[in-house]
Structure 1
């Protein structure tokens, strides 16, 4: 920003002089200069400040809040932190890492960095450039910088909160100093984030000697609620309207189309958003665990702030089908098991052992002879919501939301296993039963504003869900942009999800191309990435004409394979070197033309 003499009381010469000075100042010099001017102005009035008596003459530091977010959680927390800071008189600027110029860090004095971790310890897509810059040779000295890091993650993953840890370490390596210690949050992050907010803002106030300024913002950690509103802390009990099996007879898959009413909730969503669903554990597994431990299912316990029974806590409030490192570590202490302790001390072996095991397996491996119900509940982490990509456009279905859910069932370690939310939705919900839900907004998976923009949609399996929403929305908007779908599943005759809808859109001309890969319909398995390579020249033509690419589905195998296929296409059809292809795809991501909703 520069001073325009035409819009200020300064002469041209004064404006030019001041502009040249401002270009050379560092953030702390700005703060000092502002304080000096305030003091000098006060001296002109006999030492009296020109502000009202209730206003402090202490100038608080400016805070830049950067967020790296794949699904929207870190973004929502960053925005809440910005509101909290402003309520305390701290100037706060909240910035998406994708929109932040990394070199600007050398001009920052105070930075709060909030980030999730994606996939196998990778930064979220919008954090890649900043992460890469800080770990590269061009990273500047940040000896002037004071910073704080909040990491979001999931302790069931091996590389828990890895990106937050890496940002914290590299900022310190470059000379930055921590305002507060990094906090790594599990999936139930509200309380930990709340405490981190408080510590950070108090530290910022003390930096300026700002005792006596406001200390309460009145905003919850996850954003403010309007009257009667619903969010992840206050879900809406939504009635189930319909629950249909999408697969044909004889399929090895069970994929459900579930329609849920949002009438009276005030909730709204856009194509690309997700629905958060709070599930229930299988009462049969709950009963088996209680019986194995010799506990009383009706024993009174507290699950956080909730008074309930042991059975109620295990069914509704605690994770029992998924083991995490903190739970196993605590169980090793409670049981005194040498075998379990040896596993805890070997990270790789513990990760392998926990795979597909649950609380019942843990009890079988290391029985605890003396365990009260409250200790059991406190040992387990909260049962988190499950996120599902929304398969409908609100413009088309009004006060409804549709989901595409694959029921997870498999055998492991001699027992049948089931997905918590998917089998609850598939097996134990009847019409008019209620599901606690909220909307998880995802601005990183959005249709382009220009309805003439072409879309390339890659969504095998339940990854088809958001693209059904995209097409419903484009149909309602009478969008002219071309649409190309890549879909994959096992068998054409039984697993082509929403086949009649896609073919109807094809006949209407809404869909220009559909390329499918049914892996089990021939001897050699075929997947969507092979279909992409087969259409390399045409895909490159669409990209060069401005098409947007969307990928939805499995993060472990499908998404990396599709990414590699896209790189190969850019090299082969675009005639680029590998490193140039990587930068080309990265630039598409910066322009919001390459977006992924992967899990």
Structure 2
């Protein structure tokens, strides 16, 4: 309660007492900081406001959310330096709008081996094909990618070159970033903003109204993953299957992490002991050697290989470093420009351990070995649970990857880490990765159609759970497929319960190996074409999750066929109908 001598009227004291009594300690701390900052700002009374550096568009194209996050950071930093900065998603802007822009920063990811992010595909295609006069635009591009792919940062390279071809002036060199992008992004952003800003810019330091965080509070996220306890780890497939799909549950209690249906979970894996040992054997090292790990410090080599480095993914970048370390003439020749096909053939199905064995037969020093690796990247998995149905928990549906090539047994780094080592009671480092491009409609009465074979069903378990917990009235329709009904019907009992309760309106199944002819989810879509089209005409949202190369492509083609034949329109008109579904966010995909 406020003291009676407080310089306030009785009514003011009464009102303020009521407000303060309803606040928790963190809220009170924030309010204290806000009032202090307001007072200091008023006391400062600068004689002149900051000189503006002009309008700035930060354009981004994102698949997993990284580019969007960096774009937001770029806007925040630009505003500190006096820019009137705004961020724009490529899905929300036309290339023709760039003509009106004078200052432009682009942060764009490359998805897979040279494709644009799902949400940026329309902008990219239109921009690369159209003719634009951008002579008044000053720009710089930050490209995000993955050096394990041949077409590393290809979309960023394409956009950068196209801007220049359209007459725009590059003010700072394009920055190509691998999965460990923090330092490169910061350097690029600083250089780009300095190049764009006027030479004489004096910016008054703004008051900091950010929420104060008590010293004892730990904030978890991508930069500081949460060590989540494994609550359960179950094999979903039945005996006799050729698949290994696990359902794994984590506790988020005390993490402060929140997620929505459609988001992804970032998992920080560790390399398997046998994979670490194979690399040590190939390099002729014991693992007891000491190495210096960037941003970590001195570590035992075996521990560094297990926890810090990508020791499996083979790429041109890795082989280039290995060629320098091993001085292998054979490897140098393989990396020549005229040997691209031979290099591609060599890389297929091989890992780093094979290259060390082949091109460094006498072994490597510990420093040379760690010098060829990049940072071990997190893996993103579609979340398979609703926060309403499972408070303080998050669930995943993961297919363990195991196969043999070139005389060695191989396994997916993160999937087998979760399957083999993440047992109940163990902890796994993780963070939430928002995916704003894969969301349930805000209107809970809107019908939704979901196509998710195999582990692609994960986010749709989250969707149905969430709608059930909300008591949503909108119809839901799931297309699920896998190999065998008896072994591979993931979450079978749950779907049957949701059908009984009405939370799931329809369920169409496609088990490809249960009959002589293979039947897939796209075949079921064609069978139900009339009703799918009816749902779409009623405003239904259409979702796809799973394999991008085959399934998602085939489902997309099936959707166009549904519209073409049920709507009685031409192929071109059907394509335009489906494209409009995308633009209006009624057709969303989470593919990999």
How far apart are the structure 1 equivalents of 2:92 and 2:60?
Answer: 10
- SS of residue matched to 1:517: strand
> How far is 1:564 from its partner?
1.3
How far apart are the structure 2 equivalents of 1:474 and 1:362?
Answer: 50
What's 2:360 paired with? 367
What's 2:136 paired with? 144
Once the two structures are superposed, residues 512-557 of structure 1 have per-residue CA deviations (whole angstroms, 9 ceiling, x without a partner) of 1111111111111111111111211111111111110110011121
How far apart are the structure 2 equivalents of 1:432 and 1:225?
Answer: 30
How far apart are the structure 1 equivalents of 2:273 and 2:318?
Answer: 21
**Equivalent in 169, 172, 183 of residue 164 of structure 2:** 172
Once the two structures are superposed, residues 333-372 of structure 1 have per-residue CA deviations (whole angstroms, 9 ceiling, x without a partner) of 2223333223322333323322221121111111153632
What's 2:379 paired with? 386
What's 1:273 paired with? 263
Which of 293-302 and 330-339 deviates more?
330-339
What's 2:588 paired with? 595
**Equivalent in 244, 253, 259 of residue 249 of structure 2:** 259
What's 1:493 paired with? 486
How far apart are the structure 1 equivalents of 2:112 and 2:449?
Answer: 23
What's 1:42 paired with? none
How far apart are the structure 1 equivalents of 2:344 and 2:434?
Answer: 31
How far apart are the structure 2 equivalents of 1:203 and 1:217?
Answer: 26
What's 1:162 paired with? 154
What's 2:118 paired with? 125
How far apart are the structure 1 equivalents of 2:371 and 2:359?
Answer: 18
1:247 pairs with 2:237: yes
What's 1:310 paired with? 301
Aligned 8 A contact 2:134 2:163 in 1: yes
What's 1:92 paired with? 85
What's 1:53 paired with? 47
What's 1:448 paired with? 441
How far apart are the structure 1 equivalents of 2:208 and 2:176?
Answer: 24
Aligned 8 A contact 1:114 1:151 in 2: yes
**Equivalent in 333, 337, 349 of residue 342 of structure 1:** 333
1:533 pairs with 2:523: no
How far apart are the structure 2 equivalents of 1:218 and 1:453?
Answer: 41
How far apart are the structure 2 equivalents of 1:298 and 1:67?
Answer: 44
What's 1:37 paired with? none
What's 1:320 paired with? 311
What's 1:230 paired with? 220
RMSD: 2.0
What's 2:68 paired with? 75
What's 1:32 paired with? none
TM-score by length of 2: 0.88
How far apart are the structure 2 equivalents of 1:197 and 1:214?
Answer: 20
How far apart are the structure 2 equivalents of 1:261 and 1:316?
Answer: 22
TM-score by length of 1: 0.87
- SS of residue matched to 2:388: helix
> How far is 1:417 from its partner?
0.6
**Equivalent in 400, 407, 413 of residue 406 of structure 2:** 413
What's 1:521 paired with? 514
How far apart are the structure 2 equivalents of 1:337 and 1:575?
Answer: 63
How far apart are the structure 2 equivalents of 1:545 and 1:470?
Answer: 20
Once the two structures are superposed, residues 571-590 of structure 1 have per-residue CA deviations (whole angstroms, 9 ceiling, x without a partner) of 22222222222221111111
Aligned 8 A contact 2:265 2:382 in 1: yes
Report the number of matched residues.
Answer: 541
How far apart are the structure 2 equivalents of 1:62 and 1:339?
Answer: 53
**Equivalent in 301, 308, 333 of residue 324 of structure 2:** 333
> How far is 1:117 from its partner?
1.5
